[in-house]
Structure 1
Amino acid sequence: MHRDSTAARMSTVFRTHIDPILGHLPMVQVRPSHLRAWVKNRSQVLAPSTLAVAYSCLTAMFNSAVIDRAIGVSPCLGVRLPGVEKHHHHIPTPDQVHTVAETLPARYSAIAYLAAGCGLRGGEITGLEVDAIDFLRREVDVRQQLVCIAGRKPFLGPPKTKTSVRTVELPEVAAFALETHIKRYSPIEIEIDDETDPRNPRRRLAKLIFLSSTLNPIHRSDWAHIWAPARDAASIPKGTGLHSFRHYFATLLIHNGASVKTVQMALGHATPTITLNTYVGEWPEPHEKTRRIVDDALSRVPGMCPDKATRR
């Protein structure tokens, strides 16, 4: 079963890109040739990465039909998609992080430091409650996120993956920004739907740390308008979102010697493979790391002079 946000996205994909072209065919009549024609048609209007997402909807649909024995074999087998170019993440500089924090309206400024200093996703930040912050231990408990889908008000849901439920360290710069924010905008209780436990949805009072100027949860569509001026002021490329600050956090850990497992756990990725695939180019090459380790250990051996070291 998909999460609500994923289900909504897949429903939009089906209505927009699948049903108008293939909807007239019963599933048992769909052939690989139909899907190859569909791929050719949609590749005229969709980027390869977006086409891959739409095609995954088709694949899941036909795989389910096979499991239910509605069809014998999935027609998706053997259908090739256009290659997806490797996506290069924009990694902000420290100056860009500070500029965004300074340019954002004051009530949102600390969001920049939670993303860049703790690696939190946008929904994890806007879904934070006061009791999730432990200033004494300098830790943040990530146990929910704010979910925004079409047709309903924002609500609290479980984090993206099981490993996204985590405790992250709170660096001083983020702690100071949070303390300043809480003193200036004392959190108030608001009513919100809580679906962190899908079996027990409820409506409750929550003290969200970040609210809009109208004291409502921050909707993703509203955030886009808040973010844009700060992004432009920091000379961050258009189309780059707050998620780039999460990339900054990850690469900061990597460049300072963090292991794949450490980065995975800090980011809440489901598997180390996702972490490696996302940041594969950021880790130093093994031979470069080996040389550095050996040189650091042996470059100052007593009695070894430069001319002897280079004699051979």
Structure 2
Amino acid sequence: MASVEARQTRRSGRDAKVYDVRFRDPDGRQRKRTFGKKGDADRFAATVEADKLRGQYIDHSDRTTVAEYARAWAAARPHRPTTARRVSGLIEVHIAGTRLGSRRVAAVRPSEIQAWASDRAQVLAPSTLRSLVSLLRSIYASAVLDRLAPSSPVVRIAFPRYERPRVVPLSVEQVRDLADAMSERHRALVITQAGLGLRIGELLALRVEDVDFLRRAVRIEWQFAPKARVRSEPKTPRSRRVIPLPQTVADALAGHIATHPPGSDGSIFSTQAGTRLTHHRYGSELFGAAVKKAGLPVGTTSHDLRHHYASVLLAAGESVVAIAERLGHENASLVLSTYGHLMPDSEERTRRAIDDAWCAIPAPLTAVTSR
């Protein structure tokens, strides 16, 4: 139990009485807080014992800063290498590199977090800002569990108004023009990515053994992360999937393999020297040059080929659940939020649904009045 002890001391050249509250923290360590008034000391002693019983004890003497705790939190997470680099970069630039980073974890107020988020909004894209705030929210959730903060100050954050632009998918003609703008060695890359809806890392990691021409299927089991030298598992469990192989893609792959043997690591797509293609070489240099040559909209990236794939399946009447599986998404909600406006004939279906419902109920008979 906490105890209160009075003792004499000198303050400003005069004798004064102070009150020491001695107690043990939940880890059994001896602690002491000093107060100038006995009432304050008694209230603290009662509060600290109650907090220990409720599991809400906070060590207010801890000097750990937000930046220090964020680094420790990130180091303990089972992040993939690419995720670890991204998280570390966000922490160093946008947390440690700001005034928030030097604040004690327990001392930060919600108003400070809002001010910090508003400041970061001036230099970050809306989606990146939300990811950054989500990261800080996770860090503080851990700090609360570690009893370094009584509660998380990352609450009710107001973000700048932002409306994500709707996806405008490439047409078949545009994808064909893009493929034609590529060199003969790299043309199959565009056709394969557009015809299978692959992420760039999945595309570059494809091996001959992953393509089953007989059963007309492609297994996605590996990816190349940016700047990685070896294959790694896809980003999520759902990313490991089997995709139906269209004949258009099968012909493109067969022709490419016959003309350009796989690389030294088994990759279908490789350089002339037999080494693997990098994200930068395909996604920036080759793809960017082809976009310009084909006259496609500025800002078109290889990810737009995934959008094209999804839009073609939607136009054909494929279900959003099946499309989510083909794309390797965790659930269909992302497909709906991203491509819902591309659902075909939605206006006519709306009209027909209401008309069919009303026509199914007989109209009431007109009352006949007698004279």
Scaled by the length of structure 2, what TM-score is found? 0.70
Does residue 265 (structure 1) correspond to residue 342 (structure 2)? The answer is no
1:21-60 equivalence runs, <5 A:
21=98, 22-60=100-138
Partners of 1:82 and 1:293 in 2: CA distance = 38
Paired residue secondary structure (2:186)? helix
Deviations 1:217-241 (A, max 9, x none): 2222222111111111222222221
Aligned twin of 1:209? 268
Q: Is the 8 A contact 1:148 1:155 kept in 2?
A: no
Choose from 190, 205, 218 the match for 1:112: 190
Partners of 1:266 and 1:2 in 2: CA distance = 25
Aligned twin of 2:36? none
Runs of 4 or more consecutive aligned structure 1 residues displaced over 6 Å after TM superposition: 292-295
1:5-154 equivalence runs, <5 A:
5-21=82-98, 22-149=100-227, 153-154=228-229
Structure 1 gaps, min length 5: 191-206, 296-312
- Structure 1 residues 64, 87: CA separation in 2 closer, same or farther (over 3 Å shift)? farther
Shift of residue 250, structure 1, vs aligned partner: 0.5
- Structure 1 residues 293, 23: CA separation in 2 closer, same or farther (over 3 Å shift)? closer
Partners of 1:28 and 1:262 in 2: CA distance = 47
Q: Which letter does structure 1 place at the counterpart of 2:138?
A: A
Structure 2 gaps, min length 5: 1-77, 356-371
Structure with greater Cα Rg: 2
Shift of residue 212, structure 1, vs aligned partner: 2.6
Between 1 and 2, higher relative CO (CA 8 Å, sep ≥ 6) is seen in 1
Aligned twin of 2:234? 159
Paired residue secondary structure (1:168)? strand
Q: Which letter does structure 2 place at the counterpart of 1:147?
A: A
Shift of residue 36, structure 1, vs aligned partner: 1.3
Partners of 1:136 and 1:291 in 2: CA distance = 44
Does residue 247 (structure 1) correspond to residue 310 (structure 2)? The answer is no
71-80 or 241-250, larger mean C-alpha shift: 71-80
Paired residue secondary structure (1:7)? helix
Scaled by the length of structure 1, what TM-score is found? 0.82
Partners of 1:2 and 1:227 in 2: CA distance = 30
Q: Which letter does structure 2 place at the counterpart of 1:226?
A: L
Shift of residue 5, structure 1, vs aligned partner: 1.5
Paired residue secondary structure (2:164)? coil
Shift of residue 139, structure 1, vs aligned partner: 0.8
Q: Is the 8 A contact 1:141 1:167 kept in 2?
A: yes
Q: Is the 8 A contact 1:154 1:219 kept in 2?
A: no
Deviations 1:274-308 (A, max 9, x none): 2211212122476633666999xxxxxxxxxxxxx
Shift of residue 214, structure 1, vs aligned partner: 3.6
Paired residue secondary structure (1:176)? helix
173-182 or 228-237, larger mean C-alpha shift: 228-237
Aligned twin of 2:39? none
Q: Which letter does structure 2 place at the counterpart of 1:155?
A: V
Q: Which letter does structure 2 place at the counterpart of 1:142?
A: I
Shift of residue 123, structure 1, vs aligned partner: 0.8
Shift of residue 143, structure 1, vs aligned partner: 0.8
Number of matched residues? 276
Q: Report the identity percentage.
A: 35
Q: Over the residues paired in the alignment, what is the CA RMSD in angstroms?
A: 2.1
Partners of 2:232 and 2:86 in 1: CA distance = 16
Shift of residue 52, structure 1, vs aligned partner: 1.4
118-127 or 65-74, larger mean C-alpha shift: 65-74
Deviations 1:40-91 (A, max 9, x none): 2112222222211222221221122223333221111122222331232231
